[in-house]
Amino acid sequence: MSTKVSYPFWYGGAASMAACMVTHPLDLAKVRLQTATKPGQSLASMVYQIITKEGFFKIYSGLTASLLRQATYSTARFGIYEWLKESYVTKYNVQPTTSVLLPMSMLAGALGGLVGNPSDVVNIRMQNDSSLPVAQRRNYRNAFDGIFRIVKEENISTLFRGLTPNLVRGVLMTASQVVTYDLAKGLLVDHLNLDPAKKSTHFSASLLAGLVATTVCSPADVVKTRIMNAKGASDGGALTILSKAVKNEGVGFMFRGWLPSFIRLGPHTIVTFLALEQLRKYKIGMF
């Protein structure tokens, strides 16, 4: 009987940070589309606009905040999810079913959303900063400077602005992403006889996970972005921002940027799980 391997808690965060390096420009374009007052612009035109008007390296605006977000949010949600699964297997000596995996992933996603909220606020602000009028720009030097200035110039509670939709998104993202990946990988191996160690199996399962996660998370993601990017009390609270958006743009605004979200989240999910599987294969950091 093979011994169950306990992988390091940080594997998920490290894999997500690697994916972040690849998909950050797409994430930046997605945030710009979600905060735009005039819908209709495409992902390609947004990327082109950023490069031509602001400079090529501006497509990596806010990268430090994105990396910090993955280091906190993804490390927590992946680590807690895997720990819960391992604890279940150790206690009951059986693989958890979908009905067990879902509440595990929801709890992990909520805790990840809580831990990662401050870096998420800074991330969204840094990515959208160049699109604001010069007088309204915050000009954070990096993620840590952003957190320090928010606490100093605003209030520590600002770091937890948009927490509710972020918790909802964390729950939806983790439940749809990691559970879908686990189930899809199991189906591919058990019913299509694919090799569980092959990258093609990991690619197929992660692509499906990215598609499901994008669709499930789009409304919460758009609402979260609007709230976190708000200037402060003058923009009103979460309900005010949401009601104004619905009134002025219709409920369809909650699915604005779905395609760029998928174009970004699809590769991000694929790279994350490919990197995660390689970390597990070579047992990086394990002695």
Convert the pLDDT of each residue in 142-180 to its tens digit.
999 999 999 999 999 999 998 988 898 899 999 999 999
pLDDT value at residue 39:
67
Tokens linked to 8: 């390091």
The pLDDT confidence band at residue 243, using thresholds 50, 70 and 90, is confident
All residues at 6 or more sequence positions from 239 whose CB lies less than 8 Å from its CB, including other chains? none
- Is pLDDT of 263 > 70? yes
Q: Counting runs of H as helices and runs of E as strands, what totals does the chain give?
A: 10, 0
Q: Is residue 174 part of a domain?
A: yes
Closest CA to 64 of 153, 130, 147, 170: 147
The angle subtended at Cα 49 by Cα 45 and Cα 52, nearest 5°, is: 135
Range of the domain at 111: 11-282
Mean pLDDT score, 229-241: 68
Tens of pLDDT, residues 53-63 = 999 988 998 89
Q: Is residue 23 part of a domain?
A: yes
Residue % of the chain over a pLDDT of 90: 63
DSSP codes of every residue in 78-135: HHHHHHHHHHHHHHHSS---HHHHHHHHHHHHHHHHHHHHHHHHHHHHHHHGGGS-GG
Q: Is residue 2 part of a domain?
A: no
Q: Is residue 167 part of a domain?
A: yes
Q: Is residue 1 part of a domain?
A: no
Segment among 2-6, 85-89, 99-103, 260-264 with least mean pLDDT: 2-6
Helix axes 199-229 and 238-249, enclosed angle (nearest 10): 100
Give how many domains the chain has, as a whole number: 1
CATH of the domain at 52: 1.50.40.10
Regarding predicted confidence, which is higher, 224 or 14? Answer: 14
Q: Is residue 287 part of a domain?
A: no
- pTM here is 0.85
The pLDDT confidence band at residue 1, using thresholds 50, 70 and 90, is very low
Q: How far is CA 125 from CA 52, 151, 209, in A?
A: 21, 14, 28
Q: Is residue 94 part of a domain?
A: yes
Q: Is residue 4 part of a domain?
A: no
